[in-house]
Structure 1
Amino acid sequence: MPRKILAGIGLALSFAASSGAGAATADDALVARGAYLAKAGDCIACHSAPRGKPFAGGLPMNTPMGRIYTTNITPDPETGIGNWSEQDFDGALRRGVAKDGHNLYPAMPYPSYAKVRDDDVKALYAYFMKGVAPVRQANRASDIPFPLNMRWPLKLWNVVFLDKAVYQDKSGKDVAWNRGAYLIQGLGHCGSCHTARGIAFQEKALDESGSAFLTGGLLDGWFASNLTGEYNVGLGRWSEGEVSQFLKTGANKHASAFGSMTDVINHSTQGLTDEDITAMSQYLKSLPASGGTNAPRYAYDPNVTKVSLAHPAVDAGAKVYTAYCMHCHGVDGMGFAPMLAPLAGNPNVMEKDASSLINVTLNGTQDLVIQGLPSAYPMPKYAPTLSDKQIADVLTFIRGGWNNGAAAVSVEDVAKLRKSTQAAK
């Protein structure tokens, strides 16, 4: 065979090999990008059951109609999404419609994911098809009774409440603000928990144009806190750096994460780049105050509790506090932030709705795990130790202490939440 022909064949083979390597590199980059976006969306937290395989579903979620279970989104072709096309994936992610045509419950935050851009959907699809291990695990039917379990009304729900518009950068805002808005409103789906819902379970606002956006919301026994610039119960006293610190570590000098926010920190925000965290913080700090009370701006006053905590403690709540709380949160209520949360001036303590305080006292907190290290001092659960009255007394004391100025907690509210959270286990 002539030497020129051999050289030509060699050049062609070399070109084909290099093209294949380039394609593989491009695919790998797309999968890696999708993995990052899935982290931003905290997909693993909802689609993984305790002690279950990642993304295999089965996590119970309580809704006003009954309990549903998250689905298997691994690439298993029989029980997961392995035989879904990118169009099928997009339909579920941004429109709330599964491959077989049934509508998803809006517990799946597709009204937020509708804002996700096409190239990010493509990257997410690549990740779930090629970067996630397939798990054979059948999906579990919901516990919602007939006729409430019929899905066709969700088509009407989507017509009324689903905005299909992809996020568009706002003119007059810089790159970081728009990136933060895109993450908060879209993949981060912060409004799913932190925005109050209407009678049809719809979020009352999907972006900063609505006054209810991120003003806090009650969901599954927790009150997700106000993220606007409200001074007492929101982020009004937080600096942009302190917001970033909270998103990276789950704690700062003002508060610590609890409830489902612990999963957000553990699985999502601590793994985002500093640039994205800064962008999210900048966006949140730009939101005007909304959803608060008419109470005066908080100012710390230790004298409010000094007499109550004198030895011996003089009222019922103070007695419980000195026995069970003071060693971590201090006589002065300042705790030892960020390791042990302050109670004085804590926005969650001052919030009108005391559900989170009751819940965390009854059931404690999961461990924050930052860079592989669990928190040294998680909140213990006191449901087995304290009565409903003791919890109501101590929370009333805390909400009134150090000039917090929040309303008393009733025994009935504690009993109700104890019953509902125990039933959910």
Structure 2
Amino acid sequence: MTLTIERLGHRGDGIAHGDGGAPVFVPLTLPGEVVDGEVEGDRMPAPRIVTPSADRVKAPCRHYKACGGCALQHASDGFVEQWKAGLVTSALAAHGIEAPVLGVATSPAQSRRRAVLSGRRTKKGALVGFHARASDTIVEVPDCQLALPEIAALLPMLEKLTQTGASRRGELSLTVTWSGAGPDISVTGGRELDGPFRIELAGFAEQHGLARLSWDGETVVERHPPAQSFDGIETVPPPGAFLQATRHGEASLLASLRDAVGGAKKIADLFAGCGTFSLPLAKTAEVHAVESGADMLKALDTAWRRGAGLKRVTTEARDLFRRPLLRSELAGYDAIVIDPPRAGAEAQSEEIAASSVPVIGAVSCNPVTFARDAAVLIAGGYRLEWLRVVDQFRWSTHVELAARFVR
């Protein structure tokens, strides 16, 4: 069947219409391309490109067709930027909201400081990499174009760790973070951590120069504190804690928040994590950091106490989904910074909408829930003044943004 790709879906597949107008999903294609192939159900799994788009480029990674880590390496950077900005504006338009997009900040290749890899034992040793598209097959990626070269260089060591720690049929999840002290590795899904195995892992960490090795949430050994720098403020996150994927992306989001809430003297930072934004903002403002994870708040507080020249930072462990800060508790703040997970923060947005806080700096990793929450704020009297798109998950369908709301 010959089809013409009309647009990309939110997962990056091309969408065409087949017999009877039913949608057909075609991977690794671009709008305007004519493709030919067999249709299986609602998919054309192996299309032949008859007429390529002017935006089609050669994928920079030789693993691209097999690996599921990237979805858009066949598209030009300019196309990807416009497409991701369009995901944001379309999500807002569904709620009748318009706002200027001030630009798209795209992180460079080989800049991811954190990667979640899969590991599985084999008859000959072990296999470590990313899953193939729509499959549980693991694809080796020795020259990955996403991760820092320092992380890519760890693959042989991770294979040895998988041989040591994986069960016969199980699969390890290996979260690898590059820190100022070297590799910080957190593993889940492996063997039970008994005494002899703990000693074996500690020796492994020493042999391979790991800063920290954690197993199913428990720190086995910390040879050196695996510090991360948040705008020059040294912080040691707990094992496997959330971090912005690239330093470039983190800096872009922080710069946007400073543009959004600059001049504020008292800020509430909601979903504060380990202090990615709280600590840098404390250079000019008092900050109250709210986060559900007590271990992350402990890391934040320790970093603040060791930091120099920072204004007062207070912390509060609180589940903002079940117990959002009430409008009465928000009184007296000059600004709010909010960076919820993908589910957004609908309940918290309702309380903010009823508050008198004059300005909000918002970060989001999901345009759909951001648009939903933005509609709540706008109904409460705020105006979405501007937003910036931040693409630190290069070549993926993932998109982040920062925005400024004013009352």
TM-score by length of 1: 0.28
TM-score by length of 2: 0.28
Which of the two has greater helix per residue? Answer: 1
Which of the two has greater strand per residue? Answer: 2
Structure whose CA Rg is larger? 1
